[in-house]
Structure 1
Amino acid sequence: MSDHGHEWHIASLVVRHRPEAAGAVAATAAGTDGLDLQLQDTTCSVLLQEGDGTRGLMSSIELLQAVPGVLTVNLVYHHVESRSDIDAVPGQIHQECTG
């Protein structure tokens, strides 16, 4: 079943890596659509993945796992929101503000 376009996926990933891999993890995040580096220290990085399906999420996980020096990539949070609910929010906010 394809979820492309009908859902919005938000996930957080914790990547444990060797100190020398920190730059490559950051570069992988910078070069991957929907993947953003949120926090990084010497051996641990926290990334946020947003996109319209699980395919992009799985692709990001695979890319990070392939970085030399990466020890683990853990999915610690995954939320799915329907596009119709997201699209309804601006109208709901406007209605609440204008009474």
Structure 2
Amino acid sequence: MPAELHVASLLVHVRPDRLVPVRAAIAGTPGAEIHAEQDGKLVVVVEGPHEGWIADRMTAMHLMDGVLSAVLVFHHAEAVDEAAPPTH
């Protein structure tokens, strides 16, 4: 099976009093990056090798103290050439 790259965006809704620690926890999550924030809602992009990896990160965020919800907004997968150098 060829290697794949999965990219997903999540909308994470956070209680205002827990925003700082949740933001820090997400920033420390491998493969996750916060791309936008407004009114206690974070747009988080997650990249990983398979959809189970994405689902695990989404579940971990959902279970963080202060997170009201973490929902999948977008998911894309594509085959990658393991011999090619990374683009980022």
Gap runs ≥5 in structure 1: 91-99
Partner SS, residue 18 of structure 2? helix
Matched, 1:33 2:33: no
TM-score by length of 1: 0.73
Higher relative contact order, chain-length normalized (CA < 8 Å, sep 6+)? 2
TM-score for both structures, normalised by structure 2: 0.82
Q: Distance in 2 between matches of 1:31 and 1:42?
A: 21
CA distance in 2, matches of 1:19, 1:41: 11
The CA deviation at 1:36 is 0.4
Across the two proteins, how many residue pairs are aligned to each other?
83
Q: What is the percent sequence identity of the aligned residues?
A: 30
RMSD, aligned α-carbons: 1.9
What's the CA shift for 1:38?
0.8
User: Unmatched 5+ residue regions in structure 2?
Assistant: none
Cα deviation, 1:18-51, whole Å, max 9, x if unaligned, reads 1012112211222111000111233101000011
Task: Tell me the equivalent position of 1:78.
Answer: 75
Higher strand share: 2
